[in-house]
Amino acid sequence: MNVPIGKLTAIGGGLSLLLILLAAFSPWIAPLDPLDQSFLTANQGPTAEHWFGTDAFGRDVLSRVLFGGRVSLAIGILAPLLSALAGIWAGMLAGYLGGWTDRLLSRSSDLLMSFPTLLLGVMIAAALGPSFQSAVIAIAVALFPRFVRLSRSATQVVRREPFIDASIAAGRGTASIVLRHVLPNIAGPLVVALSLWIATAIRLEAALSFLGLGAQPPAPSWGNMIRDGMSDLVGDPWPAAFAGAAITISVLAFNMVGDALRDLLDPETGL
């Protein structure tokens, strides 16, 4: 721990927030229309007019990176949130109820867990056919078992606490206990996991759209910008280079937030 945790959290958090804001307000920030083509200005490196250069169709790369961030970050944040919403509930029920609910949910999430996230994502997106929705579904399903497992094991610990027995004795229903007493007590590790898995999801989305399985052109996403840029890397490496840098910085930012939060909440595992 040479760098103070607060500083890392601030840098990572600030960077993440900045990226989200840039993507959200891209229609107002972007200098040009990301779909505007002009063959007169095709394949230019960075200039005063086009800070990040232009692509093979003369489209402004800076505007495309900004607009691409909308798609990439939207999927990268939406998919883990959906996954968390379903996975946390499933995990809490499995951990709280035990018995066959637990066996069924644990076994099926173990099975899904045996697949690496990228492979599972590619398999699902390949089966569903390429689109924005497939990418969201593929990433959400790939992360789902991880949320189930985490919230299940955290719930099992909380379940043994005396205040749960007290609530049962006081006549509270299962749903109410899980919502009011279990959820707040397991929220810490879940928030850490969520920020780390947003980083994973951004990387997954990039890989899927790089493979042509995510958001479809002409709408830019960081992954499909690299894919498009591959056709003329020698002549014009700028679109691929800047899109890749955007992915790397976003993943780094969310990873920093997650790591810092983890060290903050659980200093032991941060070794």
Partner 1 sequence: MTGYILRRLLEVVPTILLVLTLVFFALRIMPGDPAVAALGEFAAPDAIDRFREKLGLNQPLYAQYFAFLAQALTGNFGNSMNNGAPIGDLLAQALPYTIALALAATAIGIAIGLPLGAMTAVHRGGKIDAFGRFFALIGFSLPDFYFGVLLLLAFSLHLDWFPMLGGGKGFLDQLHHLVLPAITLGLVMAAFVMRLTRSSLLEVLKRDYVRTARGKGVAEHLVIFKHALRNALIPVTTGMGIYLLTTLSGTITVELVFSRPGLGTLLIGGVSARDYTLVQAGLVVFAFFVVVVNLATDLLCAAIDPRIALR
Q: What DSSP string describes 16-61?
A: HHHHHHHHHTHHHH-SS-TT---GGGTT--S-SSSTT-B-TT--BH
**Closest CB to partner 1 among 37 and 216?**
216
Which two structure tokens, joined as six digits, stand for 72?
A: 């990439």
210 lines the binding site for partner 1 (CB under 8 A): yes
Among 20-28, 51-59, 165-173, 228-236, the segment contacting partner 1 (CB under 8 A): 228-236
Among 24-32, 57-65, 74-82, 222-230, the segment contacting partner 1 (CB under 8 A): 222-230
Torsion-angle region of residue 99: left (phi > 0), alpha (psi -120 to 50) or beta? left
**Closest CB to partner 1 among 26 and 200?**
200
Q: Measured over all CA atoms, what is the biggest interatomic distance in the chain, rounded to whole angstroms?
A: 76
Distance CA(242)–CA(59), nearest Å, equals 14
Q: Is 80 exposed, middle or buried (0-12, 13-18, 19+ CB in 10 A)?
A: buried
The least distance separating partner 1 from the CB of residue 255, rounded to whole angstroms, comes to 6
Pick from 135, 140, 146, 136: nearest CA to 88: 146
53 in Cβ contact with 44 (< 8 Å): yes
The least distance separating partner 1 from the CB of residue 175, rounded to whole angstroms, comes to 30
Q: Which residues in the 80-119 window bind partner 1 by CB under 8 A?
A: 111, 114-116, 118-119
The least distance separating partner 1 from the CB of residue 197, rounded to whole angstroms, comes to 13
Q: Which residues in the 20-59 window bind partner 1 by CB under 8 A?
A: none
How many chain residues bind partner 1 (CB under 8 A)?
A: 38
Site for partner 1, rule CB under 8 A: 2, 111, 114-116, 118-119, 122-124, 126-130, 199, 203, 206-207, 210-213, 226, 229-230, 233-234, 237, 240-241, 244, 247-248, 251-252, 255, 271
